Chain A
């Protein structure tokens, strides 16, 4: 088995003292960067890129990959503890992580997030090791029609749920789609919906601005109203025994973990998708497959497990197109790619042949990074829990400041801070009126992927929609999506028919 001897060589590289300490340092740095709202792996990797000139290229990439990885773990922390998505990849984690924390089960959510991240990361690294090159072919087989079919499938998992009010879900999706259309339209080359040329709208509505506004500011306003000045927001405790118990209980989520990991990995390897869509889709799928979908959004552990397993799997997956095709699968890998060029490592179809030490050293370091990230993460849980014990009167302003920083950092534009505050108030009102907000978030993430794919396909087929059904891959994905769309309708008819007889 050639793969194994290469991998063993890789482990020798990963276990060199310098590389090992860089992995650990990277994971810790990443954990904190990920936990800071607005600062995600993209910023972390971009900021620390120049520092890596001090070490050999392979060590540098290992360090940056460890940061990327650690940030995936860390993003869950503020999502769960503060209700502010720590990174775009951890938005879906707030859906159930926050309610769990409010119920006094923050430790459970954190353990679930860490474990799911570990499982997702490990499964995808194993897949990466065994099938890197064949999977690159899959990435190539995905053209615009396939991408669009996949996006339709993602939407269907969110709408095909009986529990929610379908009209409100639709409204939420459409408003998200409208927001996602703001900015430059690459097909026509013209700016759209820029409100008379406000320059802040040229870069579109940053998805994090919406997510931090709705979940950070909106959540804070909501808590102020609900708690009515009650100082303590939740009773959070932690002990070694509780953590062990949490781990035991997680066995029931094993299926969700594995499924989400596979889904995340797959979405990750598609160029231009990345970990954020992957985690949202995994959440939708987990909800659709669950026996009790109505408990999602109210503190279901599977709702934390799914996105966390998926985002770690996707982050590993997105290194695949970066290495084999030279095309980044996510914004973070785009920066990594730039780094590799600086170090003289030319990514592309030949990188596995030309630089085996580098590739396998990197892959092996991902195994190592996973183990350390899990240990460090669980080790820090008591410290994170302490945050929740702070009175809300202290916590609220901290949340507010973190939100403002988080809204400013990605684009460094005050326009986005104002926008985020507006979204916060709107989010609060939507919540009062019982509109689901997750579909809007999903729409603003997937819209910019779905729309160009739809239009590129139709330009290619000269307006013939059959292009989505004639091609084998997109056709089968479309079929599944249509079934998922029809499912609630069938249920409705069935229920009526039962009542009638």
Chain B
């Protein structure tokens, strides 16, 4: 029994040492021409397999492939609580130069919806905005609906109870875009939240729902295969190129300039990061941005290129935060 107890203690000790070794490490940054001293934690504020995850892993792939950084970027998913977990994690890693985060719009929405978290996003260190993802209104290719006008008529005819709109979650992007649509056209739909955009797209193709506001990347394959149809794009005119540029915008269809909503694809670091650390990350992402792979990816996935750094990015974040506050208030999600 005594031997057993000793070995148990030894095991416990070993585990402790292991755990300590992982959680604490050198956290200081050298003064100039900063380079990471160890692998960089690349926090993704969404779960595995979603749009943000795929994008971040794609960027990691480009960095790895071309050797843009001397140490690897290791993706860590912290999607819990619509990114609340990731935001709290970043807050706790104040001054840590080896942590960066890929953000989406939950970067604004989660702190607004959950003020108890005590997150002030203006404190984080901005790195860059790489692009803005767009939204379109989609229906099944078999439906008779060919235009936004047809759509509005069909929804009004069916009534809210019989028109199912699928989207990702409640109080986040898809539901806000749906609310914009409802307000603009005076229609009502039954909104069904799903876990990810991929599932939403599949539900539309399987005819379990009547329409979606998917991102291009989620519907592109089905559209190409002739299974879904985009009606209009929630972008200002002329922003999208290629195939997605052929989709009319709400503005072009004469519904005004306010039917615009983007999903930002930005990267940030914790609070209290040295200027040269920030410069290092901006440098890495600049190389990624200029790579052929990234330029190609944006075109294929219907994204609007949007390189933005420094104070311009900080101002953008502030403006977006306020815009989302208003959207949430309009949707009745917050006071």
Contacts and interface: CB of A to CB of B under 8 A. Distances in A.
Interface of A: 42, 46, 49-50, 53, 139-144, 183-184, 186-189, 191, 194, 197, 199, 201-204, 224, 228-229, 271-272, 321, 325-328, 331, 333-335, 337-339, 341-342, 346-350, 392-394, 396-398, 400-401, 404-405, 408, 411-412, 414, 417, 452, 456, 459-460, 462
Interface stretch (B168-176, B242-250, B265-273, B280-288): B168-176
Contacts of B76: 412
A299 to B, nearest CB: 25
B8 A140 contact: no
Interface majority SS on B: helix, strand, loop or mixed?
helix
Interface stretch (B56-64, B127-135, B303-311): B56-64
Interface stretch (B15-23, B147-155, B231-239, B314-322): B15-23
A460 B167 CA distance: 13
B15 A202 contact: no
A341 B218 CA distance: 12
Interface in B293-335: 293, 300, 333
A459 B19 contact: no
Given A203-B78, A338-B53, A342-B61, A397 B7 contact: yes
B208 A183 contact: no
B251 interface: no
20 contacts: A139-B206, A142-B206, A184-B84, A187-B170, A188-B170, A191-B114, A199-B88, A328-B198, A341-B54, A348-B221, A348-B225, A349-B225, A392-B4, A393-B7, A401-B11, A401-B15, A452-B195, A456-B193, A460-B164, A460-B190
Contacts of B81: 183-184, 191, 194, 199, 202-203
B27 interface: no
Given A202-B84, A349-B227, 14 more contacts: A50-B60, A184-B84, A194-B81, A203-B81, A224-B4, A271-B198, A335-B48, A338-B49, A397-B8, A400-B8, A400-B12, A400-B15, A408-B19, A417-B19
Nearest to A197: B116
Interface of B: 1, 3-4, 7-8, 10-12, 14-15, 18-19, 22-23, 48-49, 53-54, 57-58, 60-61, 64-65, 72, 75-76, 78-82, 84-85, 88-89, 113-114, 116-117, 161, 164, 169-172, 175, 190-195, 198-199, 201-203, 205-206, 208-209, 220-222, 224-225, 227, 293, 300, 333
A224 B172 CA distance: 50
Nearest to A397: B11
B161 A462 contact: yes
B65 to A, nearest CB: 5
Given A50-B61, A396-B4, A189 B171 contact: yes
Nearest to A408: B19
A339 B201 CA distance: 20
A143 B206 contact: yes
B190 A414 contact: no
B89 A199 contact: yes
A12 B99 CA distance: 45
B18 A405 contact: yes
A185 to B, nearest CB: 9
A412 B21 CA distance: 12
Given A189-B169, A191-B114, A396-B11, A183 B80 contact: yes
Given A141-B206, A142-B206, A350 B23 contact: no
